[in-house]
Amino acid sequence: MTEGINFDLFRAGPNAMVLVNPTGVIIDANQAAVLLFQRNDLVGRVVEDLVPLEVRDRHQANREGFFSDPRPRPMGEGRQLSARRSDGTEFPVEISLCPVVTDQGPAVVATIVDISLLRSREREIQEFTGRLESLVEEKTKKLQEANHELETFISTISHDLKAPLRGLSGFSRALREDCGALLPKEGHFYLDQIEVSTRHLSDLIEGLLTLSRISERDLSPTLVDVSRFIEEWARQRGGESGPKAEWSIEPGLSCRADPYLLQVLIGNLLDNAWKYTSKNPSRRIEAFQKEKDGHHWICIRDNGAGFDMAYRNLLFRPFQRLHRQDEFPGLGIGLATCLRIAQRMDGALEAHAEVGKGATMGFSFS
């Protein structure tokens, strides 16, 4: 009776199918369609009886449009379609259309899939995602608050620590100035030691303050000329005692970042390169850029003391050091600060080194 349509498949198909002629009359329907629309009287009806009332007129126009250019396609692409049962209830559907030729002329097979379950699952997922998002938001806010509290605490403590330290430093100074003549040589040595400790503690406090500023600071990223910053740094430190350094600074290094944080970061890396090459008579410090993992990295390489990569995990922890004070003095806060800065800028920091050969430190901001 028909060309281009397998009626066995049509009748036995698990999905609802109706065969519709160009005037919109349903000329055949399978059992699945009867069940889906809950009506036995499908054949002979116009197909518009199966669509929601408010889209009836539009559906008729669309149907006429389809027959003027019949080709297989999904119906109502990009729109959410609904179908209507005999009792007037509506349910979400997906419909695909396929033109066929019957012995009565051209027609279309519409395959209708009830997607109520899919839609309700989608809604559940949306609700769940929404709940999850607000939960994450809430937890993040709490975490940020706790973090902020901690930073405020560190900054307050650090400022409060300055006062007694100023007393310690000031009175040992006054002792030397006012009573210096009465003190034996040992007395002056002891005063020197008090000053060394005072300076150490003072550096620690400044380090903690810098660390706490990283999270508190409002970032204002600008394009920073990194090459120029390093050149200026090298010029300032060049006059210090110790072996002369050979500098190799790639021209045109630049980075979009908060200038203060970037300067602290690069300053710390340079400080390290400078310190750990101080015992190398032919010290060399290089600054260069590279592309890796789709990111732009700026690196500082030195030929200094280096370190054992086995201890790499300790490198970025506050107050952890890989060298003895009598080898290379330090606080162990510089690289912890660098890591915090890299994290604040959504970036990364990496280190490679070999004992006695030097270290390369690199950072990249996203």
Partner 1 sequence: MKRPLLVVEDNPQDEFFILRALDALGILREVARDGEEALLRMLSPQREGPLPCAVFLDIMLPRVNGWEVLRQLRENSRTRYLPVVMFSSSAEPRDLESCYRLGANGYVHKGIDTGEFQKRVQAMAEFWVKTNIPLP
The alpha-carbon radius of gyration of the chain (Å, integer) is: 38
The window from 40-48, 103-111, 152-160, 309-317 that contacts partner 1 (CB under 8 A) reads 152-160
Closer by beta carbon to partner 1, 128 or else 171 = 171
The window from 10-18, 157-165, 234-242, 296-304 that contacts partner 1 (CB under 8 A) reads 157-165
* Closest distance of CB 170 from partner 1, Å: 3
User: For residues 285 and 353, is the Cβ–Cβ distance under 8 A?
Assistant: no
* Closest distance of CB 162 from partner 1, Å: 4
* Residue closest to 22 by CA, chosen among 83, 58, 69, 57: 69
Cα(83)–Cα(36) distance, integer angstroms = 10
The pair of structure tokens assigned to 296 is 């732009």
Contacting residue, 165, 234, 309, 348, with partner 1 by CB under 8 A: 165
* Residue closest to 51 by CA, chosen among 20, 11, 73, 78: 20
Cα(315)–Cα(348) distance, integer angstroms = 14
Cα(247)–Cα(250) distance, integer angstroms = 10
Contacting residue, 21, 202, 254, 278, with partner 1 by CB under 8 A: 202
Cα(133)–Cα(137) distance, integer angstroms = 6
Helix, strand or coil, per DSSP, at residue 201: helix
176 binds partner 1 (CB under 8 A): no
User: For residues 258 and 220, is the Cβ–Cβ distance under 8 A?
Assistant: yes
* Helices 259-276, 226-238: crossing angle, 10 deg rounding: 40
User: For residues 91 and 82, is the Cβ–Cβ distance under 8 A?
Assistant: yes
102 binds partner 1 (CB under 8 A): no
1 binds partner 1 (CB under 8 A): no
200 binds partner 1 (CB under 8 A): no
Contacting residue, 20, 33, 81, 169, with partner 1 by CB under 8 A: 169
* Cβ neighbours of 360 (radius 10 Å): 18
The window from 26-34, 156-164, 223-231, 281-289 that contacts partner 1 (CB under 8 A) reads 156-164
154 binds partner 1 (CB under 8 A): no
Closer by beta carbon to partner 1, 89 or else 152 = 152
Closer by beta carbon to partner 1, 43 or else 209 = 209
167 binds partner 1 (CB under 8 A): yes
* Closest distance of CB 173 from partner 1, Å: 6
Contacts (CB under 8 A) with partner 1, residues 210-269 = 213
Task: Using CB under 8 A, list all residues that contact partner 1.
Answer: 155, 159-160, 162-167, 169-171, 173-174, 198, 202, 205, 213
